[in-house]
Amino acid sequence: MRAYLRFELRRLVRDPRLMFFSIIGPVATYLIFSGWSAGERLEGLAAPVAVMIGLAGYGAVAGVLMVGSAVSQERAVGWLRQLRVTPLTSGQVVAVKTLIGSITAIPPVIAVGIVASIQHHVELSAGRWLALLLLMWTGTVPFALLGLAIGYGVSPHVAVPVNFLVFLALSVLGGLLVPAAYFPDDLRHLAHALPTYRYAELGWRSAAGQPPTATGLAVLAAWTLLFAAVAAGAYRRSTARR
């Protein structure tokens, strides 16, 4: 399993496209839509900080979901059948891919944070910056699993559009692009049930110096277990096909 992890890490380093697309979008959006007043409050934070975290989460989710598209291409060239003959179990393969996918969440969080610090003079203590980075990294696990479920479960030629539609729906309805505080009541309740909102909530509460809520952690855990089961099942079915 360690050898497979090293192999996947080398592949990630040699293919910077995932990180490129997950960084440019949220950074450009933050620069363009930067008319937030420092006195305005969203999610219990100054608006520039709350929007920074939402867009950092947007880029992070984009990166980890795009792993699903790469997996679909591996299916097309028969790589999964090669993995089938190794001692690796389906759970180990999914776990390594999940970790690799989650790593792509780190650069967009750092990039948007730097831009927010320069443009809006966002200031957090070193401890809060570190906690924010760690939570925004580990919180992407359910989305990495979702990307794998799509990549393993749908045909390669539709994996990219499916990934994009899922990403767009979760980002918009989960309040990453537009704060959920502006949603009608029904949509706000829906947002609170989605993993994207609860993921961003980890960052919002961390920046405010507060621990995660029990409800938020429970929602993320439920989605993680669901996506893990779907991803593992999709992997087994895809490697069994001839």
Q: In this predicted structure, what is the pLDDT of residue 242?
A: 46
Q: Which residues are CB-contacts of 35 (< 8 A; sequence separation ≥ 6)?
A: none
How far apart CA 62 and CA 28 sit, in angstroms, is 14
Q: Which residues are CB-contacts of 154 (< 8 A; sequence separation ≥ 6)?
A: 72, 162
Q: Which residues are CB-contacts of 183 (< 8 A; sequence separation ≥ 6)?
A: 175, 191
Domain that holds residue 159: 2-240
Q: In this predicted structure, what is the pLDDT of residue 193?
A: 96
Q: In this predicted structure, what is the pLDDT of residue 79?
A: 67
Residue with tokens 């967009």: 108
Q: What is the pTM of this model?
A: 0.87
Q: In this predicted structure, what is the pLDDT of residue 74?
A: 72
Number of domains present in the structure of the chain:
1
Q: In this predicted structure, what is the pLDDT of residue 77?
A: 67
Q: In this predicted structure, what is the pLDDT of residue 241?
A: 54
Q: In this predicted structure, what is the pLDDT of residue 16?
A: 67
Ranges of the chain whose pLDDT falls below 50: 242
How far apart CA 96 and CA 22 sit, in angstroms, is 20
DSSP string over 74-137: HHHTTHHHHHHTSS--HHHHHHHHHHHHHHTTHHHHHHHHHHHHHHS-----HHHHHHHHHHHH
